[in-house]
Structure 1
Amino acid sequence: MPLILFNKPMNVLSQFTDRGSPTQRATLSDYIDIRGVYPAGRLDRDSEGLLLLTDDGRLQARIADPKFKFAKTYLVQVEGEPSSDAIRQLAQGVDLNDGRTRPAEAERIDDPQLWPRDPPVRFRKSVPDSWLKLTIREGKNRQVRRMTAAVGHPTLRLVRISIGDWSLGDLQPGEWREG
């Protein structure tokens, strides 16, 4: 029963096939050649970082199901410089169109040492950017991006670095290891 920790690159789908697209997009099968493993949860195509895969259906369901409240930690590059009030709003929960988010851990951090993104984040001289570390325990669709936008700081780059006790470590984009 393998558990695979994969550093999903930008623009890779969190599935093994690409159905319904006229152009062939990158999928997990471009990186992982192990039969019978499936993603435990999702990571959007435009997000990067830790994705867990397993052949254990019960473990897959536990990781993916928000009721088990696995902490998911992200490094988030946002537009602008969030105030302490914006950070407090993220931590207390944000009202989204599908309901209020659960409280989160949120803090401003120095620029992290990450691999270059391909394609790079658009740089604008007139608009500063900054980094947050955000830990959530639920999984609404595109939740982190919607949370930062709700407090006035759209997400420019999103990298998941941990899920529960599993972390990305030194895996580079496209690399995986058994956990």
Structure 2
Amino acid sequence: MADRLDTPKEARRSLLPKIRLDQDAFGKVSEGIARFMGTPRFLVWLSLFCLAWIAWNTWAPATVQFDKAALGFTALTLMLSLQASYAAPLILLAQNRQTDRDRVTMEQDRQRSERNLADTEFLAREMAALRIALNDVATRDFVRSEMRNLLEELVAEREADREAERDAERERDVEHDGVGGPREPRTGDVS
């Protein structure tokens, strides 16, 4: 008995051969038919067909009528039932294919939305980094004010140096001449 469980079953032959159909091709054909059946043109053609059927089987000679009005147009009823019995599965098949396409489209839209969100978040982070970096960058007004301050400091230092030179010169003169008297000309001075 254990031998049988680990061996696959042999393929059984059925009385009817299996019909292999290309699912995509069959789906496209069924969608085309379902799409056509949903148009006003189909309704007009079906109405004309029914009117012609009824007119032929009502007013044509009895020998050429094939669906008697006395029997309630049984063949026409059967034809319309047959058309409806094929239309319903074709419409369902077309709806299933449309549902599959919608599912794929929604998945692609979701992925695109995720990429857009990731891109937007990346750009927002980059913008924040740029703002932070720009806070550390000196503005034109700041640079001008710093240059003005440096210039004022340089001018003040030069004035201080000149004043210090004058003071040093006065001190030399005072030391040389005495405490406040007029200075005597030195041997190298020209007066």
When normalised by structure 2's length, the TM-score is 0.16
Larger Rg belongs to = 2
Greater fraction strand? 1
Greater fraction helix? 2
When normalised by structure 1's length, the TM-score is 0.17
Higher relative contact order (CA 8 A, sep 6+): 1
